[in-house]
């Protein structure tokens, strides 16, 4: 007999979202030789272990320049530290430079990756069983999972045009929509970005309906070749309707696990929403590793706060790969048997096929064809079959991409035969 019955543990542990993440991790470990068009990890092309001491030294020098004595410099990096973080001022400057977002450092909570920023925000916003979170379907698995962990139900919004209707229907059902989670730039998994008019419209709805927008922006610095960036929701936000979820995993260094949340909303207690999130953080992770923060802080100082400039080479890699991916699909499927998105940036392309794509097919693709991808069904909160899969082009070389596409084409072609 087992020591613990799963039925006596928290319901999220049997939920699709948490097991989905687990399954996807496991399959990639199980087929290490397969080419992965599944992983959304950043390129490892420029990884350099020597960067870490270099960034640490840069950050320590910055502390000295600010007048801190040696014991205080050492304490800042090596001791327990401020719950809201030690690189908040540097993050604030980076947001001004890269995003034209102007917020007080005190409105920023530095987190153990963007995932903790999501978790803290959803935990704060879930007061009772009537609270719900809205999100575009398909949605990033990380937000669905974080919502499950804090017992916050999610209502899918199939299309932005329906947002208002979903809000009103939820209210009619006695529910309290707390926020709308959205990735306006090159979303995971859809690859879509919202046009400027839609961004303004979203802010209008947020104001009219007294709704927070939870803006997640991991991919904004990576538009496709020739595509200009659009302002983030937070840059357009004049009424503090946007909670901005920030990540350095793709633009800084994933191994630092440093993210942040901008929460400049005022709270009736007199402080900022960031201060409430900080209280929660003190009971979740106490503070974000100051060593890890110093690495990111050093990188921000090193690039004079412009991660856009620091990621020029990465941007070109992703833009090239995205072109190779969509051109490669066009070359291999000239006849219209399948369709795919041609995103204006980011890491992800969605391929629609005339058959349901499930985990069994992924396992078959990995085992028999040597190529990994992600069933789009993982990004929906229902058991309904989904005829689509997500391809990622961030963690492969163009040559691997070509081989991966050959394998994928063979797999899809075989499936097309089987499904007719």
Cβ(156)–Cβ(164) below 8 Å? no
CB of 2 to its own copies, least distance (A): 4
CB of 219 to its own copies, least distance (A): 15
CB of 303 to its own copies, least distance (A): 17
Closest CA to 261 of 308, 222, 311, 214: 214
> Distance between CA 181 and CA 31 in Å, rounded?
33
13 binds its own copies (CB under 8 A): yes
> Distance between CA 309 and CA 344 in Å, rounded?
19
Binders in 144-203 for its own copies, by CB under 8 A: 145-146, 148-149, 151, 176, 178
Tell me, residue by residue from 92 to 131, as one string, x for binding to its own copies by CB under 8 A and - for no binding.
--------------------xx-xx--x---xxxxx----
17 binds its own copies (CB under 8 A): yes
Rank residues 273 and 411 by Cβ distance to its own copies and give the closer one. 273
Tell me, residue by residue from 235 to 264, as one string, x for binding to its own copies by CB under 8 A and - for no binding.
-----x--------x---xxxxxx------
Residues 6+ apart with CB under 8 A from 375: 357, 358, 359, 361, 362, 386, 389, 390
> Distance between CA 328 and CA 370 in Å, rounded?
17
* DSSP symbols for 25-94: HHHHHH-TTSEESS--PPP-TT--TTHHHHHHHHHHHHHHHTT--HHHHHHHHHS---TT-S-HHHHHHH
Binders in 307-326 for its own copies, by CB under 8 A: none
372 binds its own copies (CB under 8 A): no
| DSSP state letter for 315 | H
289 binds its own copies (CB under 8 A): yes
> Which one of 96, 282, 337, 419 is in contact with its own copies (CB under 8 A)?
282
> Distance between CA 420 and CA 416 in Å, rounded?
6
Binders in 67-86 for its own copies, by CB under 8 A: 71, 73-75, 77-81, 83
CB of 183 to its own copies, least distance (A): 16
Cβ(40)–Cβ(392) below 8 Å? yes
Q: Could you tell me which stretch among 225-233, 273-281, 326-334, 355-363 binds its own copies (CB under 8 A)?
A: 273-281
CB of 40 to its own copies, least distance (A): 9
């Amino acid at each position: 007999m087992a020591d613990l019955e799963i039925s006596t543990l928290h319901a999220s542990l049997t939920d699709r979202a948490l097991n989905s993440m687990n399954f996807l991790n496991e399959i990639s470990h199980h087929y290490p030789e397969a080419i992965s068009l599944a992983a959304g990890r950043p390129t490892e092309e420029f990884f350099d272990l020597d960067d870490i001491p270099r960034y640490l030294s840069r950050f320590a020098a910055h502390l000295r320049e600010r007048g801190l004595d040696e014991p205080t410099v050492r304490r800042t990096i090596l001791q327990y530290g401020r719950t809201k973080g030690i690189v908040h001022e540097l993050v604030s400057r980076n947001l001004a430079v890269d995003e034209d977002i102007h917020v007080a450092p005190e409105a920023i909570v530095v987190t153990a990756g963007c995932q903790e920023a999501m978790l803290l925000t959803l935990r704060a916003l879930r007061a009772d069983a009537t609270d719900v979170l809205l999100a575009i379907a398909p949605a990033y698995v990380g937000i669905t999972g974080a919502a499950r962990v804090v017992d916050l139900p999610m209502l899918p919004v199939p299309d932005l045009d329906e947002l208002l209707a979903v809000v009103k229907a939820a209210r009619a059902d006695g529910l309290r929509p707390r926020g709308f989670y959205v990735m306006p730039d090159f979303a995971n998994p859809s690859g879509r970005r919202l046009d400027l008019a839609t961004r303004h419209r979203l802010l209008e709805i947020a104001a009219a309906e007294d709704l927070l927008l939870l803006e997640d922006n991991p991919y904004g610095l990576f538009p496709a070749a020739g595509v200009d960036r659009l302002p983030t929701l937070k840059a357009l936000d004049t009424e503090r309707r946007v909670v901005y979820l920030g990540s350095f995993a793709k633009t800084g260094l994933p191994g630092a696990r440093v993210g942040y949340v901008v929460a400049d909303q005022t709270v009736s207690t007199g402080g900022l929403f960031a201060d409430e999130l900080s209280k929660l953080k003190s009971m979740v992770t106490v503070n974000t590793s100051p060593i890890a923060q110093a690495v990111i802080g050093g990188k921000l100082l090193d690039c004079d706060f412009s991660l856009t400039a620091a990621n020029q080479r990465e941007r070109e890699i992703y833009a090239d790969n995205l072109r190779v991916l969509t051109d490669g699909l066009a070359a291999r499927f000239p006849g219209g048997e399948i369709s795919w998105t041609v995103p204006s940036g980011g890491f992800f392309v969605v391929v629609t096929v005339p058959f349901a794509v499930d985990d069994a097919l992924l396992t078959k693709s990995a085992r028999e064809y040597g190529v990994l991808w992600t069933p789009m069904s993982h990004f929906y909160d229902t058991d309904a079959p989904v005829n689509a899969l997500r391809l990622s082009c961030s963690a492969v070389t163009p040559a691997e991409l070509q081989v991966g596409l050959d394998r994928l084409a063979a797999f899809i072609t075989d499936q097309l035969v089987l499904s007719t």
